[in-house]
Every structure is written in C-alpha cells, then in structure tokens.
Amino acid sequence: MTILLTGTSSGIGRATAEALLVKGHRVFGTVRRISDASELSLHPAFSALIMDVTDRASIAAAIETIRTSGETLHAVINNSGIAVSGPLETLAEEDYRRQFDVNVFGSLAVCQEALPLLHAAREAGEANVKIINISSVSGYVTAPFTSIYSASKFAMEAVTDGLRRELVPFGIDAVSIAPGPVKTPIWTKAKTQTKAYEGTRYAYILEKLIPYVENAEAGGVTPEHVAGVILKTLESSRPRPHQLVMPKSWVVRILKQLPKRVQDKIFLKNMEGNKRY
C-alpha cells in the first residue's frame, strides 16, 4: 500500500514510518524540516515531503508530489499534533488557536487535499482505502489543564465519525486510534509550557502537575506499540472505528460512564495523589 503519514520527525509518526517500511509499504512521510527525515530517507520506499499542516499551500504541494509520482494513494494517517497545556482561564489566545489550527484544521485540510487521490484509488478498483486519525484518550475524557488539547481531540473524533459516514457511499473508511500516554517527545514539550500558570492563581498547580506528567509518561506505552496498532488497522478491511490504545482501557471506559461530578472527584484526587488515571 502507499501511505501519506504526517509528522514523521519523532514519536509515533517516526515509529509508524519504520513499521510500515519493514512491512514493505510505500511511505510518503511529512516533516517540517528536511533534516528530520534524513534517516528515514535512506530507505528506498520512503519519500520525505515538507509540510506544515497550518500552511495549506504546503499541504497542496505535498499532495501534488504524490499525484505526479503516478502512485496510487491508499491511505492517509493524520498523526501530526501538538499538546497545549494550561488553565483555560489564562491560556493565551494564540496558544489555544494554535492547538486547533494544528490538530483539527490542519488534519482536516490534509483530508480535504488528499481525498481526490483516495477517490481516484477507489475508482481504479483499489480496496481498503482509508483515513486514520490519531486521536487520544483525551478525546474520550477531559483531564484538567489539558482541556484545550482534549477539545481538539474530541473535535477530531467528531470529524472522523463525520468523514466515515459521509464517505460510506464512496467506499472510503475513516477511523480513529486513541492512545493513552505514549513515551514520546510530546511530554517534554508539554513540561516547558508554564507561562499560562506563572504569576496567576494557578501557579500552585505546577508543582503537582510536573510530577503528574512525568508519572503519566513513565507509565506510557512505547511508540512502537502504537505503530503496531496503526499497521494492523491499516491492513484490516474492517477496522474498529475507534480504538483506545492503553493498558486497562476499561478503566477509562467506566470513568466515561460515571456521573460528571464523580469524574471531577477522580481527576482531582489523582492530581493530588500524583497518580495516573
């Protein structure tokens, strides 16, 4: 299969590119800096595309490169993402807008630009044509101080369901994969985001939050584990529309069913006690 995979510079995207290449797939992997693709580019089945998902022209140019390659595009994996953290009251407008620009509007723009190629694949008789959106457990339940990230992942769950239902007549599938904590650089990036707390009423939470984040990351699965789930989903003719990828995912499923006030107490207790949920 030929796959467009966004965000291959590190983490889940990098591990997924490697797993796809090992299985003999053809990968068009996106990076924002060409140097971030130097190792992957050593593989003959990997082509690096420069793309910033907030820059529509860069998305269109990347898709045009795939189109003119003459290869049939079977799947798009929207993996690029950022995690903005901070109290909703004090988050800077540019930060909460960037959260949606990258995770929601960026992923949607990639789908819009790539869909003509996916339709062409179906019209040429290809089976198993699909979009996989990398969501998160945060698209399932909302933890305090990562609420805007959660909002972006809830939005992507809705976009994925909408795409799947709108694309049924054309035989193109759309599914989401929602990992719990994964050991990737996204956590280190989140730990440096302290400006929304400093000098505000929420400054007290920082000393609890950093160990909480470190603890969550330490209990996380490897990016290779998530890559394995992505690979299986890609190759399946009827994958589950939504997969929660984390140990004891049933805990989250139960948590989601509890009354909201009970959920509130659990989140607050876990943050106090510096535990993972």
Ligand X SMILES: NC(=O)c1ccc[n+]([C@@H]2O[C@H](COP(=O)([O-])OP(=O)(O)OC[C@H]3O[C@@H](n4cnc5c(N)ncnc54)[C@H](OP(=O)(O)O)[C@@H]3O)[C@@H](O)[C@H]2O)c1
Catalytic sites, residue numbers: 149
Residue closer to ligand X by CB (options 121, 229) is 229
Chain-centre distance for alpha carbon 175: 12
Question: Does residue 220 interact with ligand X by CB under 6 A?
Answer: yes
Residue showing tokens 């990258």: 102
Alpha-carbon gap, residue 158 to 167, rounded angstroms:
14
Q: Are 23 and 11 in contact (CB under 8 A)?
A: no
Question: Does residue 81 interact with ligand X by CB under 6 A?
Answer: yes
Residue closer to ligand X by CB (options 72, 78) is 78
Min dist CB 259 to ligand X, Å, is 25
Coil vs helix vs strand at 112: helix
Min dist CB 245 to ligand X, Å, is 8
Q: Angle 275-11-119 (CA atoms, 0-180°, nearest 5)?
A: 120
Total number of residues binding ligand X (CB under 6 A)?
A: 30
Residue closer to ligand X by CB (options 72, 212) is 212
Q: Which two tokens stand for residue 161?
A: 């369901």
Residue closer to ligand X by CB (options 85, 136) is 136
* Binding-site string for ligand X from residue 12 to residue 41, where x marks contact by CB under 6 A and - marks none: xx------------------x---x-----
Question: Does residue 85 interact with ligand X by CB under 6 A?
Answer: no
* Binding-site string for ligand X from residue 178 to residue 197, where x marks contact by CB under 6 A and - marks none: -x-xx-xxx--x--------
Min dist CB 129 to ligand X, Å, is 22
Min dist CB 52 to ligand X, Å, is 4
**Binding to ligand X (CB under 6 A): which residues in 244-263?**
none
**Binding to ligand X (CB under 6 A): which residues in 108-167?**
134, 136
Strands (E), the chain: 2-5, 26-31, 46-50, 75-78, 130-134, 173-179, 242-245
What's the per-residue H, E or C state across 21-65?
HHCCCEEEEEECCHHHHCCHHHCCCEEEEECCCCCHHHHHHHHHH
